[in-house]
Amino acid sequence: MKRIVRILSLTILLVSASLARVVWADDSNNNSNLEQRLDALEQQVAILKRQIENSKDDAADKATTTPIVTANSKDGFSIKSPDGNYSLKIGGYTQVEARDFAANNKEEQGQVSSIIPRRVRLIIQGTVAHDFDFFLQPDFGYSNTYSDSGGTISSSPGAYAVALQDAWIDWRHFPDFTIKAGKFKPPFDLENLQDTRYTDFVELGLAGNLSPQRDVGAQVGGNLYYDWITYAAGLFDGAADKENGYGGYNSGGDTNSRDGVGRLFITPFKHSNIEALQGFGIGYAVTYGKEKGTDLPTYVSPGQAPVFAYNSGVSAAGPQLRTEPQAYYYYKSFGILGERVDDYESLQYKAGSTTYRDRPDNKAFNIEANYVLTGEDASYNGVVPRHDLNLSTGDWGAFELVGRYGELKVDKSIFSENFSNLNTSILSETDWATGLNWYLNRNVKLAAGFEQTKFRRGATLGSGTNNGDNRKTENLFTGLAQLSF
């Protein structure tokens, strides 16, 4: 019996040992397979990590090299590098103007009711190497250029022409000290410095007759104390009153010498807690130069009819000084803007062996107000509708009521000393206007207005009973359709 037990025990021990070897072999095989699988997984994870890193690098490279292209109602069409160092914007605007003169002055002024593309301007602007801006603005519209024939200047529109309104570059590394050079608006007339798309009326007020419109030169300027102070000062080629840069006349050329122009404008409450005063600004501008030659201006009515010119043979001959105090105020839907120009210009002409000289002081001012009937904010930079025109939702855009009053007075000594003739040139003009502007959206504006201008002297119907008469009152209806982007 004991022998049987021993045999069974030995048998069980042998079977257990065999099973242990089998199990151990299986475990070894499983461990080996598991290690192989782990190695394979680690290799796949490593591959995925490399792929993810490569994708990130590719995305980063793409983000730094792919330009950002946008098109919207505010900035037009633009393309910009991701770092913002280079950009290009393309925009522009078209203003189609309708002029309808009342019958009582069409004949005398030689004006006819007409519909003209008053301004058709392409705007190309951008940034190069982060610190340099450029701006180009050619105009393809109906050109109100001046011509000089025998000393008598006419401002009749010179038909359709291509003119370069603006072409400048600007270095703006320091926001409070920028350098600008090229052809642009001198820092002088407050209304003229507005973008034409945002002015209350199609044409400038009477003060614009005594101000240079654009000139070629260089200036420094900037904003100080968080835009509390804006300043600009520059040296320009020299532009006559109402002249658009040199060569503004078809003959006579640019005979003016250099002009110094400076402007200081302060918005003392812009960052204050007094909301009602944040939109108040006041400033002063001045130009000075020694002029010579026959590059003299003509003055026009709001309907752009020529109403004043110097006699043949009169020329500029010495210092010219212009000064302009200016101010605006905007609060919620209400805005008001005003300016006054004093223009002292040295003149001369020869009669035989005698030279006559004078330094008259011509004066002009205009004040204009606007009120946005639909509740949007009024501003120096135009009105942005709260809701665009959408008939399905009952939205009509923004409506703005505008008004203007102005005067231009020519120095009496100009006529008493025969520098001009009261039978053909006015002594003064007084103007008032009102209108309604409709902003369908940020890009489309329609406007309608009426303007009446009364004159002293300057009747143009010939001699006899007309000598000493006043030029007939100009009654002008205007309409405007504007598309900008």
Cα distances from 286 to residues 260, 304, 315, 326, 340, in angstroms, run 8, 25, 22, 11, 12
What pLDDT does residue 181 have?
Answer: 97
pLDDT at res. 412: 95
pLDDT score recorded for residue 13: 46
What CATH number has the domain spanning 76-484?
2.40.160.10
**Integer Cα distance of 135 and 432 in angstroms:** 35
Of the listed ranges 21-35, 264-278, 353-367, the least confidently predicted one is 21-35
| % of the chain exceeding 70 in pLDDT | 76
pLDDT in tens, 436-459: 999 999 999 999 999 999 999 987
More confident residue, 68 or 17: 68
Query: What is the Cα–Cα distance from 116 to 139, expressed in whole angstroms?
Result: 14
The type of residue at 252 is: G
Q: What is the pLDDT of residue 255?
A: 53
CA atoms of 97 and 447, how far apart (whole Å): 9
Nearest to 338 by CA among 364, 377, 302: 364
**More confident of the two residues 147 and 117:** 117
What's the start-to-end Cα distance of the chain, in Å?
A: 114
118-122, 332-336, 349-353, 398-402: least confident range = 349-353
Rounded to whole angstroms, how far apart are CA atoms 444 and 440?
6
- In this predicted structure, what is the pLDDT of residue 142? 73
Predicted confidence at residue 245, as pLDDT, reads: 58
- For residue 178, list its beta bridge partners: 221
List pLDDT tens digits, range 147-157: 444 334 444 44
> Tell me, what's the pLDDT at 14?
44
| Residue whose C-alpha is closest to residue 319's, from 345, 282, 286 | 345
Segment 37-83, tens digit of pLDDT: 666 666 766 666 776 676 665 555 555 667 888 888 777 889 999 98
| CA–CA dist 184, 484 (Å, integer) | 20
Q: Residue 220, CB half-sphere, CA atoms under 13 Å: how many?
A: 5
Comparing 377 with 75, the larger pLDDT belongs to 377
Pairing of strands 76-80, 68-72: antiparallel
Burial of 280 (0-12, 13-18, 19+ CB in 10 A): middle
pLDDT of residue 201: 95
Q: What is the mean pLDDT of the chain?
A: 84
Of 62-76, 220-234, 325-339, minimum mean pLDDT range: 62-76
Question: In this model, does residue 31 exceed pLDDT 80?
Answer: no
- What pairing do the DSSP bridges indicate for beta strands 215-224 and 354-358? unpaired
According to DSSP, the residues that pair with 356 across neighbouring strands are: 349
**Is residue 248 scored above 60 in pLDDT?**
no
**pLDDT confidence of residue 103:** 65
For the beta carbon of residue 435, count every other beta carbon within 10 angstroms.
22
Confidence grade of residue 402 (pLDDT, cut at 50, 70, 90)? very high
> Given the structure tokens 């009521």, which residue do they identify?
401
Beta bridge partners of 367: 338, 405
pTM above 0.85, yes or no: no
Domain spans of the chain, in order of start: 1-66, 76-484
Q: How much is the pLDDT for 424? A: 87
Beta-strand relationship, 177-184 and 163-174: antiparallel
Q: How far apart are alpha carbons 190 and 199 in whole angstroms? A: 11
* pLDDT at residue 109, as a whole number: 55
| Model confidence at 462: pLDDT above 60 | no
How many residues would you count in the chain? 485
Query: Does pLDDT of 28 surpass 60?
Result: no
Those residues with Cβ within 8 angstroms of residue 364's Cβ, 6 or more apart along the chain or in another chain: 206, 207, 209, 210, 340, 341, 343, 406, 407, 408, 409
Question: What pLDDT is stored for residue 10 in this prediction?
Answer: 46
What is the C-alpha to C-alpha distance for residues 466 and 463, in angstroms, rounded to an integer?
A: 6
Task: Judge whether residue 485 has pLDDT over 80.
Answer: yes
**25 — pLDDT class (breaks 50, 70, 90):** very low
Q: How confident is the model at residue 294 (pLDDT cuts 50, 70, 90)?
A: confident
Q: What is the reported pLDDT for 155?
A: 41
- Which tokens hold the place of 288? 């000075």
Q: How many CB atoms lie within 10 A of CB 148?
A: 19
